[in-house]
Each structure stands twice: as C-alpha cells, then as structure tokens.
Amino acid sequence: MDKIVKLNHRLKKRASRQTSVLRPSRAEAEDAVRTLIRWAGDDPGREGLVGTPARVARAYEEWFSGYFEDPREYLKRTFEEVAGYDEIVLLRDIRFESHCEHHIAPIIGRVHVGYLPRQRVVGISKLVRLVDVYSKRLQVQEKMTAEIAACLDSVLKPFGVGVVVEAAHECMTTRGVHKPEVTMVTSCMLGTFRTKAVTRQEFLSAINLKGGSSGTNPMT
C-alpha cells in the first residue's frame, strides 16, 4: 500500500511540474533546430535543410503530444456489466515509440498491461491510449512503467495491476556501447500482483515471461 501511495504522489507531482513549463513559440523552436544544424557542422539555409526546422517542430508535436493529454481521462468511463467476471484482464504486445530523456533517442518496444478488476472494467482501447500518453513524452523506461501502473491503479482501483515493458533503446544501440540486440525489461506489480505469487505468475505466464519475484526484472 505504501508503494502505491508513493507512486500516485509522484504522478501528481510530475503532472504539476509539466503544467508550469513555459512553452516557447514555434518560431523559437525552429530557430533552436537551426542552431543545432549549425553546431553539427552544416548550413540550415541550404536547399536540403531549409525546410528541416519546420519539419522537426511538427515531428516534436507528434512525438511529444502526451504532455498535453491527461491519461486519467481515458479511464473514467468504465463498465460494470461483466457477468461476474473476476479474473485477470490482460492486453499484450502494445507497441509503443518513445524517446529517452537523456539523449532524445528513440525507445521502441511493447507493453503488457494486466489488472484484476474490482467489479468494473475499462474498454481495452483505453489501455492503449494510456500507454500512448505516457510514451509520447521524454521518458526513462523504469519511470514510464511505474507511471502506467500507478495511473491504472489510482483511477480503476482494482485488486491488482501488473505492467511489463520490453524495449530497445537507440541511445545504446546507435551510440555509446553500440549493442544493437539488447532489450531492456522492466515491471511494476501493485496490489495482488505484488503480494500473491500465484497471481503474479499467472500474469507473467500469460505474456510468456518467467517469474516468481516481484522485482523490477521479471526475467530473473
């Protein structure tokens, strides 16, 4: 319970920080791109690059649209007519694209989201929307994993939540150590997914991962 409270507190604190950020104008954003092009050693005024600042600004609007959405809104409409269903609800292999907050390099992977409902469920497309909102921000995989789980737990208040994220980080595959075949795996287990090994194992087995531990890496 303490872990859930702390996660929800961090979630609210981060949302408060985001709303206080002063967003520059489109012209200022495009000027920043021109500066980076010059710093890289090229001329932003040449034919092939003259339109690049505007294209980069539009790309950023798409890549980071999650800053302007409240993920909780997608979870507010729920359904109680589930014919007494009281087992795990699981959505596997939700593909996502994000960017690391350290290098703004792509993070590409998939998310598995499961929860044990407390009489009410949410439309499955809303779980995809939840992942999209958090992934379309500058991220650290561990943080994104915890944020998805905490949001689902705070809004639906289920018996338990399990989130597993598997992703490749281009900040490690295209620079630095240059290890292209490495996948990072993170997990966040809340409620019965954390306290009951049988529930956790059922969830991990359903997504074809081994586990008995409630740690951050279900592969160990």
Which tokens go with 90?
């699981």
In the chain, the number of structural domains is 2
**pLDDT tens-digit map of 102-125:** 999 999 999 999 999 998 899 999
Residues 77 and 37 in one domain: no
Among 9, 18, 73, 102, the active-site one is 102
Domain for residue 6, yes or no?
Answer: no
Residues 89 and 194 in one domain: yes
Confidence (pLDDT) at 180: 87
Residues 149 and 76 in one domain: yes
151 is catalytic: no
Residues 116 and 61 in one domain: no
Residues 156 and 52 in one domain: no
Residues 139 and 85 in one domain: yes
* pLDDT < 50 positions in the chain: 212-220
169 is catalytic: yes
201 is catalytic: no
What single-letter DSSP state applies at residue 22?
-
99 is catalytic: no
Among 30, 99, 112, 141, the active-site one is 141
In the sheet where 184-191 sits, what is the strand order?
138-139, 89-100, 106-116, 160-169, 184-191
178 is catalytic: no
Among 99, 112, 139, 169, the active-site one is 169
Residues 60 and 135 in one domain: no
Confidence (pLDDT) at 219: 36
Domain residue limits at 155? 69-207
Distance CA 96, CA 108 (A): 6
Burial of 114 (0-12, 13-18, 19+ CB in 10 A): buried
Among 97, 119, 171, 201, the active-site one is 171
The CATH number given to whatever domain includes residue 35 is: 1.10.286.10
Residues 182 and 79 in one domain: yes
Among 101, 142, 170, 202, the active-site one is 101
Looking up tokens 């996502």 gives 96
Confidence (pLDDT) at 17: 56
